[in-house]
């Protein structure tokens, strides 16, 4: 998995889920800039196709797979496409996720719980099962799971989302322990409020929401999607070779505030 040449991920086969927008799309551009060969995964074909075309026209190696990570067969198909096109899988950023609107637990429908857990937890489970199998086969790799500050503390994001992001950190620790002997590192990001499509939609409903979220961070602003992507990138490179099982806060100081 060691990159050579000028970039930090030259020749590395990397899979990114939720790549059709927001943090995942930013990660696709950042990983390519460092020389990775990327497999972009999400449900929305037009957005994925446009991003893959942008990247290949810029001279990078990129392909896309339309897949729903909550389906194990889809996740396996995406990983198989990466292995087939690029000779293996070295890195994965399991970033696909859905929000739940804030609301009291007893007023939240079962369907919301099911949808959020299916994508945010089962999606990471499905992807890691396929990714770890490929990485064990090829002798190692690095996985980064996108959790949230809501994976460590209760935020306004609603109980299903908070529970789902805590579970992502649990899965991360378990996999890190089990796969360390196989030379696979597994880490999570505690991502803070980030100016992605997910959040822009939510903030559009009330301009005061952005100011309130920004105020919680020591840096008094939201993250840009690239700032989260850079942290995921670093955890996928050999520069972070002694880091596994950890959750890296990329939150402008929110959790320490």
Ligand X SMILES: NC(=O)c1ccc[n+]([C@@H]2O[C@H](COP(=O)([O-])OP(=O)(O)OC[C@H]3O[C@@H](n4cnc5c(N)ncnc54)[C@H](O)[C@@H]3O)[C@@H](O)[C@H]2O)c1
Q: How far is the CB of 45 from ligand X (least distance, A)?
A: 11
**Nearest-angstrom CA–CA distance, 9 and 7:** 6
Q: Which of 64, 86, 161, 179 is catalytic?
A: 161
Find how far residue 68's CA is from the centre of its chain: 14
- Evaluate whether 250 touches 227 at the Cβ level (below 8 Å): yes
| Between 64 and 179, CB nearer to ligand X | 64
Tokens of 234: 């670093």
**Is 86 among the residues known to form the active site?**
no
- Please name the helix (run of DSSP H) or strand (run of DSSP E) that holds residue 41, with its range, or none: strand 37-42
- Evaluate whether 50 touches 74 at the Cβ level (below 8 Å): no
Find how far residue 155's CA is from the centre of its chain: 19
Phi, psi of 126, rounded to the nearest 5 degrees: -60, -45
Tokens of 51: 């991003």
**Nearest-angstrom CA–CA distance, 183 and 141:** 7
Q: What is the DSSP letter of 14?
A: E
Nearest to 92 by CA among 38, 56, 26, 48: 38
**Nearest-angstrom CA–CA distance, 131 and 171:** 14
**Nearest-angstrom CA–CA distance, 40 and 93:** 10
* Contacts to ligand X by CB under 6 A: 17-18, 20-24, 42-44, 68-70, 95-98, 119, 123, 146, 148, 191, 193-194, 196-199
Phi, psi of 227, rounded to the nearest 5 degrees: -70, -30
| Between 142 and 191, CB nearer to ligand X | 191
| Between 24 and 141, CB nearer to ligand X | 24
| Between 18 and 35, CB nearer to ligand X | 18
| Between 1 and 235, CB nearer to ligand X | 235
Residues catalogued as catalytic: 161
């Amino acid at each position: 998995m060691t990159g050579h040449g000028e970039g930090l991920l030259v020749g590395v086969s990397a899979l990114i889920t939720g790549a059709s927008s927001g943090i995942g799309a930013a990660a696709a551009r950042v990983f390519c800039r460092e020389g990775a060969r990327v497999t972009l995964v999400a449900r929305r074909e037009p957005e994925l196709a446009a991003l893959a075309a942008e990247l290949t026209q810029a001279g990078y190696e990129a392909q896309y797979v339309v897949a729903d990570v909550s389906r194990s067969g889809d996740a396996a198909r995406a990983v198989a496409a990466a292995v087939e096109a690029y000779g293996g899988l070295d890195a994965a950023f399991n970033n696909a996720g859905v929000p739940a609107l804030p609301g009291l637990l007893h007023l939240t429908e079962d369907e919301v719980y099911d949808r959020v857990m299916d994508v945010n937890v089962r999606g990471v489970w499905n992807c890691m099962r396929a990714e770890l199998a490929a990485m064990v086969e090829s002798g190692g790799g690095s996985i980064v799971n996108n959790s949230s500050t809501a994976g460590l503390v209760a935020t306004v994001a609603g109980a299903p989302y908070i529970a789902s992001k805590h579970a992502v950190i649990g899965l991360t620790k378990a996999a890190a322990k089990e796969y360390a002997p196989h030379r696979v590192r597994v880490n999570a990001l505690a991502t803070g409020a980030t100016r992605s499509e997910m959040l822009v939609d939510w903030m559009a409903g009330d301009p005061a929401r952005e100011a309130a979220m920004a105020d919680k961070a020591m840096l008094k602003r939201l993250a840009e999607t690239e700032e989260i992507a850079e942290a995921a990138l670093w955890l996928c490179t050999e520069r972070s070779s002694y880091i596994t099982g950890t959750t890296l806060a990329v939150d402008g100081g929110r959790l320490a505030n």
